[in-house]
Structure 1
Amino acid sequence: MKDFYDVVIAGGGHNGLVAASYLAGAGLSTLVLERQSHTGGAAVSEQVFPGVDARLSRYSYLVSLLPDKIVADLGLSLELRSRSVASYTPVRRGGRDLGLMVERPEGAATRESFAALTGSDPDYDAWQAFYGSVGSLASAVAPTLLEPLESADSVRRRVDPALWEELVERPLGETIERRFTDDTVRGVVATDGVIGTFARLHDESLLQNRCFLYHLIGNGTGEWRVPVGGMGAVTDALLQAARRAGAAVVTNAEVLSVEADGTRGSVTWMGGDGERSVDCSFVLANVAPAVLDRLRGRPVASKPEGSQLKINLLLSRLPLLRSGDDPRRAFAGTFHIDEDYTQLETAYGEAAAGSLPAVPPSEVYCHSLTDPSILSPSLVASGHQTLTVFGVHFPARLFAADNDSARAESVRRVLAGLESYLAEPLEPCIARDADGNLCVEAKTPYDIEESVGMPGGHIFHGDLSWPWADDESGAGRWGVETDVANLMICGSGARRGGAVSGISGHNAAHAVLALHP
């Protein structure tokens, strides 16, 4: 290992690997330091259950924001597969069990499903009009994500003024309530504003609006695709790209401190051979801003608070539904559980008051229906399937007093919510591991912080920001800069961070290349 590098990247998550690939490919000597025994951070696939040959996407699980340009630029050997169904929502109305099915692409069955639920077409017409408008905003914003920041005024000039006011200037709840009448339809729209974000739909901070926007602008379409081979396949492709470009990647190297003075930098870490330091021209921090403050020896202004419960399951078979719909179709997209608009707001109120939601909203996704390669051939042949459940409005504060007990009760409530829409008990459908235990794993915000180092278990490293500069003074920057010219944030806490996108890594690398002599 050399004594000096052009760039040292603290953290080997997917953004760090993206940055390393661009920088090393441009001829800069680049070192990546990762504290875990493997790269990828939360974008990993792991054998979760003992003796069971199933590699689950343990933390992050779908891909939307990763630009096709990054995939092409880095020559990634990666397949992102479309799901045949966008979403399915089981509903109980007037003693009947129904299901709101949204196809991909939408067709006659989607309109018929809306009509069966609402009794008429107006909400589906409103649905098409709304998402058509959102698509125009996505097509205006997506091309800017890999460029220096534009000002808000610059982006606004390319967007319908009424839509800009609805989504950027007024709370998302107002728009949903004005455009849609059915409580379930309202809830399906609203969920994209609260995934991983603890906020009311009428929150004046508009945090829910920002979350909603990021969920719908990926590649200009907002489609969430399945990485074939699991999220680990994304990391594997990026690691190969970084090494192919010439970057040095060191695992089991926990960064202890970072120094940067504008022209020179230094990073100290603890590895298998003891404590080491290396000097460099630039430091890229692929860690949360709160972690970077600690590494710089600065007080942490505030610790982020994550707000989700992640449950991974392996089933021996998919359960039957009370609605009678084919479970292979219903679970092929995002399966919404108790996510009516009023249920989302009620759950937020209960959690804000310090109680676990009595009827927790959550959503389920079955990776193996779209990509069975994460299962062994014998598991595929016997009908096994994976389920990922994402519980909404589970802020870290609810687990502070007793994480284990709160986790167990939260899992019980979430799975009871799923079972309420099934025509049979769930437990007999859950596979068992080599020790005879049910194949169920749950991660609270505290568990996520402990395992992958995200402060407060916040999957976005903190509150999301608008993907543009607030005013002209911020335009032209990359959204990765700190108070020191040669120290950049290249993780999810950057201006256009959040989710598995590689955008922060790309932008940090280009910010360095713009400054490197």
Structure 2
Amino acid sequence: MAAAVWTGRGRRSAAVVNTVIRSRSGSSGTALKSQYDALVIGGGHNGLVAAAYLQKGGLKTAVLERRYVLGGAAVSEEIIPGFRFSRCSYLLSLLRPHIYKDLELKKHGLRVYLRDPHAFTPMLEEGVRGAPPRSLTLGSDLAMNQREISKFSHKDAKAFPAYVAHLEKLAEAIHPLLDAPPVNIPGVTTGSLRRRLAAAKTLMPIVKCGLKLGKNIPDFYEIITAPIMKILNQWFESEPLKATLATDAVIGAMTSPNNPGSGYVLLHHVMGELENEKGAWGYVEGGMGGVSQAIARAARSYGVDIFTEKDVKQVLVDSDRVAKGVVLNDGTEIHSRVVLSNATPHVTYKHLVPQAALSPEFIRATDQIDYTSPVTKLNVAVDKLPNFLASPTPDNKAGPHHQCSIHLNCESVEFLEAAYKEAMNGRPSVRPMLEMTIPSVLDPTLAPPGCHVVSLFTQFTPYHIEGREWTEQDREAFADTVFDWVEQYAPGFKNSVVGRDILVPPDLERIFGLTGGNIFHGSMSLDQLYLARPLPCLSDYRSPVKGLYLCGSGSHPGGGVMGSPGWNAALAVMADLKRR
């Protein structure tokens, strides 16, 4: 059971319940047909993007979602009556601008609240001569950032603008790689000259990336391979600044800032844009389900049939290893020319595809994909805002810092390292890294007047606790640990809690289909990116079963509410059908 609802001022009710108020986000009212051109398994944002482009391309398409609500991990749910949560994914930045524009998502109801400032890191320390403890606030105003950083280091304040410009240049160079499949290595290296010339077109994004980088190619190579601390130590000396920046290098990843490859995770999290502002993150009105609903409305406007509570049991594969449709759990068969899976590679190839249709070698390779996750998500309903010692707001009115990503236990990289090591030893962190967001500060639709919804994205927690499964007592104990730490930064927080929803890695797997609880559909490590995502033999959205494609975050370019996997997969499908 994933949710514990509290009543009163922090007193837990006698029963632990999982109350979900269902929203009208399901089927379109259209009857399910027995034949389609394309079927998409899973109504997450990538599946909906793929469906929209396939339908625009002339293919009659249907989306089949297992749950009662659309969105996959980008979903809004009213867990506690009156409080609407972005239950899993909670911020928007990476959605590709051309998808935003092509699908006219604003027209279809997508509204985003930009945050400025972006990050707030309060300290746990004694104030000087009665002053509040120090804090670090970062936003779009570089002069303000420098003033904030100078509380800890004048040298770092001076270096910060150059660091931001450097990172933006590296992140901008990645963009050509996001909107295209990886290089077609077999096509470029084998076959006829005509085939090689056709495949050579897939080299263009790499060429564009290289041209954008220019003399910065060595810096790019370093950041995608190095521990992020190697990079940050070259620029800065103050621990609060380095730890705050390092959180983007480990968020969602079971890794340490001192591990190779953590630099790419940071780059992945800063390469987005929102409302033409590079690197900006924002809240979606109504929660992250607002993104999925806008894409679904766009898809329906083109003619896509979308169904919820349609649990796909298996992909139908004929004797020639060609996908012919799907069979639902109730036995209903639906036939199609192609099938796209928005599920993880593990779910797709270990549960949906008949094992006889795959070679033993491929199954073994699939078993090696890393889905390790460090994440426990807590969704909390409160009757007043947290009042931080480092930036007091005793009147329950929101300060600028309340709209930020609030980083707790992030004063030092040592804290992050220690938390990581505990999880790697099979234990939940006793001083977890906490990223708190309070979207209701900007979006009043999420909570009753005067109340708020709080998201706590916490690390590090293992999938198993010292080899055993999580119990309800374990969930409650970890949530209590998190609340105790929040209480130190914002006394009175625990007494403001109305209810809480606790999602440890096995819960994220069970509810959202995220294998291992991994929010990216597979670790974003160097051995599982680009040509190797999800496998070196499987990086072009196609599969060993002809007519079956991956369109989720387990394919290139990976996780986040981006839409690129769905877009790229749809292009691969349409290219293949033209050749048939």
* TM-score with structure 2 setting the length: 0.80
Q: Are the aligned partners of 1:264 and 1:281 in contact in 2 as well (CA < 8 Å)?
A: no
| Aligned pairs for 1:123-134 within 5 A | 123-134=156-167
Q: Deviations over 1:438-469 (max 9, x none)?
A: x1111101111111121111111111266644
Distance in 1, matches of 2:431 and 2:561, equals 29
Q: Deviations over 1:289-319 (max 9, x none)?
A: 0001121133551462221111111221113
Distance in 1, matches of 2:240 and 2:408, equals 10
Q: Are the aligned partners of 2:314 and 2:328 in contact in 1 as well (CA < 8 Å)?
A: no
Q: Are the aligned partners of 2:147 and 2:157 in contact in 1 as well (CA < 8 Å)?
A: no
Read off the aligned partner of 2:409 and give its amino acid letter. D
Read off the aligned partner of 1:386 and give its amino acid letter. V
State whether structure 2 residue 93 is matched by structure 1 residue 64.
yes
Q: In structure 2, what is the equivalent of residue 218 of structure 1?
A: 272
Q: CA deviation at 1:269?
A: 2.9
Q: In structure 2, what is the equivalent of residue 42 of structure 1?
A: 73
Please, which of 385, 389, 401 is the counterpart of residue 469 of structure 2? 401
Identity value in percent: 29
Q: In structure 1, what is the equivalent of residue 333 of structure 2?
A: 277
Q: In structure 1, what is the equivalent of residue 323 of structure 2?
A: 265
Q: In structure 2, what is the equivalent of residue 199 of structure 1?
A: 255
Q: CA deviation at 1:148?
A: 3.4
SS of the residue corresponding to residue 328 of structure 2 reads strand
Q: CA deviation at 1:156?
A: 3.9
Please, which of 385, 391, 415 is the counterpart of residue 318 of structure 1? 385
Q: In structure 2, what is the equivalent of residue 164 of structure 1?
A: 220
State whether structure 2 residue 425 is matched by structure 1 residue 353.
yes
Q: Can you give the 5+ residue segments of structure 1 that lack an aligned partner in the other structure?
A: 433-438
State whether structure 2 residue 503 is matched by structure 1 residue 443.
yes
Q: In structure 1, what is the equivalent of residue 576 of structure 2?
A: 515
Read off the aligned partner of 2:134 and give its amino acid letter. L
Q: Are the aligned partners of 1:465 and 1:495 in contact in 2 as well (CA < 8 Å)?
A: no
Q: Deviations over 1:476-510 (max 9, x none)?
A: x9742323442211011011121111111111111
State whether structure 2 residue 566 is matched by structure 1 residue 505.
yes
Read off the aligned partner of 1:319 and give its amino acid letter. P
Please, which of 254, 268, 288 is the counterpart of residue 231 of structure 1? 288
Distance in 2, matches of 1:84 and 1:172, equals 25
Q: CA deviation at 1:402?
A: 3.0
Distance in 2, matches of 1:124 and 1:79, equals 34
Q: In structure 1, what is the equivalent of residue 47 of structure 2?
A: 16
Taking a change above 3 Å as real, the CA distance of residues 126 and 459 of structure 1, as seen in their structure-2 partners, is same
Q: Can you give the 5+ residue segments of structure 2 that lack an aligned partner in the other structure?
A: 1-31, 184-202, 356-362
Distance in 1, matches of 2:99 and 2:525, equals 22
Taking a change above 3 Å as real, the CA distance of residues 324 and 251 of structure 1, as seen in their structure-2 partners, is closer
Q: In structure 2, what is the equivalent of residue 290 of structure 1?
A: 346
Q: CA deviation at 1:114?
A: 1.3
Read off the aligned partner of 1:373 and give its amino acid letter. T
Q: In structure 2, what is the equivalent of residue 99 of structure 1?
A: 135
Q: CA deviation at 1:416?
A: 1.4
Taking a change above 3 Å as real, the CA distance of residues 494 and 260 of structure 1, as seen in their structure-2 partners, is farther
Taking a change above 3 Å as real, the CA distance of residues 279 and 71 of structure 1, as seen in their structure-2 partners, is same
Distance in 2, matches of 1:34 and 1:392, equals 29
Please, which of 368, 372, 388 is the counterpart of residue 305 of structure 1? 372
State whether structure 2 residue 297 is matched by structure 1 residue 243.
no
Q: CA deviation at 1:81?
A: 2.0
State whether structure 2 residue 456 is matched by structure 1 residue 389.
yes
Distance in 1, matches of 2:114 and 2:286, equals 14
Distance in 1, matches of 2:206 and 2:86, equals 39
* Aligned residue-pair number: 492
Taking a change above 3 Å as real, the CA distance of residues 169 and 458 of structure 1, as seen in their structure-2 partners, is closer
Taking a change above 3 Å as real, the CA distance of residues 285 and 465 of structure 1, as seen in their structure-2 partners, is farther
Q: Deviations over 1:95-122 (max 9, x none)?
A: 551110112x224332222112x1x421
Taking a change above 3 Å as real, the CA distance of residues 9 and 324 of structure 1, as seen in their structure-2 partners, is closer
Distance in 2, matches of 1:39 and 1:67, equals 20
Taking a change above 3 Å as real, the CA distance of residues 115 and 214 of structure 1, as seen in their structure-2 partners, is same
Q: CA deviation at 1:186?
A: 0.9
Q: Are the aligned partners of 2:430 and 2:481 in contact in 1 as well (CA < 8 Å)?
A: yes
Distance in 2, matches of 1:363 and 1:322, equals 17
Distance in 1, matches of 2:148 and 2:231, equals 23
Q: In structure 2, what is the equivalent of residue 420 of structure 1?
A: 488
Q: Are the aligned partners of 1:464 and 1:495 in contact in 2 as well (CA < 8 Å)?
A: no
Q: In structure 2, what is the equivalent of residue 496 of structure 1?
A: 557
Distance in 2, matches of 1:243 and 1:92, equals 50
Please, which of 105, 109, 122 is the counterpart of residue 144 of structure 2? 109
Q: Deviations over 1:48-105 (max 9, x none)?
A: 11xx3221111111111111211211122212221121100001346551110112x2
Please, which of 409, 416, 422 is the counterpart of residue 338 of structure 1? 409
Q: Are the aligned partners of 1:266 and 1:277 in contact in 2 as well (CA < 8 Å)?
A: no
SS of the residue corresponding to residue 46 of structure 1 reads strand
Read off the aligned partner of 1:185 and give its amino acid letter. L
Q: Are the aligned partners of 1:253 and 1:269 in contact in 2 as well (CA < 8 Å)?
A: no
Please, which of 105, 114, 124 is the counterpart of residue 82 of structure 1? 114
Distance in 1, matches of 2:170 and 2:317, equals 38
Distance in 2, matches of 1:470 and 1:455, equals 18
Distance in 1, matches of 2:73 and 2:181, equals 27
SS of the residue corresponding to residue 41 of structure 1 reads coil
SS of the residue corresponding to residue 43 of structure 1 reads coil
Read off the aligned partner of 1:239 and give its amino acid letter. A
Q: CA deviation at 1:369?
A: 1.1
Please, which moves more after superposition, 173-182 or 253-262?
Answer: 253-262
Please, which of 483, 496, 516 is the counterpart of residue 429 of structure 1? 496
Q: Are the aligned partners of 2:339 and 2:549 in contact in 1 as well (CA < 8 Å)?
A: yes
RMSD across aligned positions (CA) = 2.5
* TM-score with structure 1 setting the length: 0.89
Distance in 2, matches of 1:158 and 1:84, equals 28
Taking a change above 3 Å as real, the CA distance of residues 161 and 24 of structure 1, as seen in their structure-2 partners, is closer
